[in-house]
């Protein structure tokens, strides 16, 4: 609101419940509470998901809580290319954005261009067209769906 574009790193989004009020009731709502006269360009990043051998408090996927909050955008990269493109777009967005990285994808390698680029927020991506079934997924599920 003062001209900065902060990026908040939660490291483990499992503990994001401690920040629910500032994210959900303040950042996501202030634009509307002030009649559209202010923007809240904040990015909150966090790692999500289980199956890494971490304790129960480090094995949650809480991003669905935030998908239902008016004024808050939630994005989940699926590969290194989308990490850079979505994060770049989130930083430039005037609304609060929660960037959720699956813990099992953090060490994934892949092509990432040196040049600056953004991936449009709010738009899905079709990786493969078929005629028999439709699979809709995000994050680690994209890796699983495209491997089989």
Active site residue 58: yes
Please pick, among 45, 58, 92, 104, the residue that the annotation labels catalytic: 58
**How many residues are given for the chain?**
148
**Token couple for 148:** 């089989």
| Nearest residue to 105 via CA among 79, 133, 74 | 79
Which residues, including other chains, have CB under 8 Å from residue 90's CB and lie 6 or more apart?
A: 43, 73, 75, 97, 99, 121
Which residues are marked as active site?
Answer: 58
């Amino acid at each position: 609101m003062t001209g900065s574009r902060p990026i908040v790193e939660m490291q483990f989004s499992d503990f994001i419940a401690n920040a629910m009020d500032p994210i959900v009731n303040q950042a996501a709502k202030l634009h509307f509470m002030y009649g559209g006269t202010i923007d809240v360009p904040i990015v909150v990043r966090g790692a999500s998901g289980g199956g890494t051998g971490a304790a129960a408090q480090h094995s949650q996927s809480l991003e669905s809580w935030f998908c239902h909050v008016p004024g808050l955008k939630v994005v989940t990269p699926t590969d290194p290319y989308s990490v850079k493109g979505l994060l770049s777009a989130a930083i430039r967005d005037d609304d609060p954005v929660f960037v959720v990285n699956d813990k099992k994808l953090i060490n994934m390698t892949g092509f990432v261009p040196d040049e600056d680029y953004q991936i449009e927020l709010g738009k899905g991506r079709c990786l493969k067209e078929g005629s028999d079934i439709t699979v809709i997924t995000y994050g680690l599920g994209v890796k699983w769906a495209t491997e089989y």
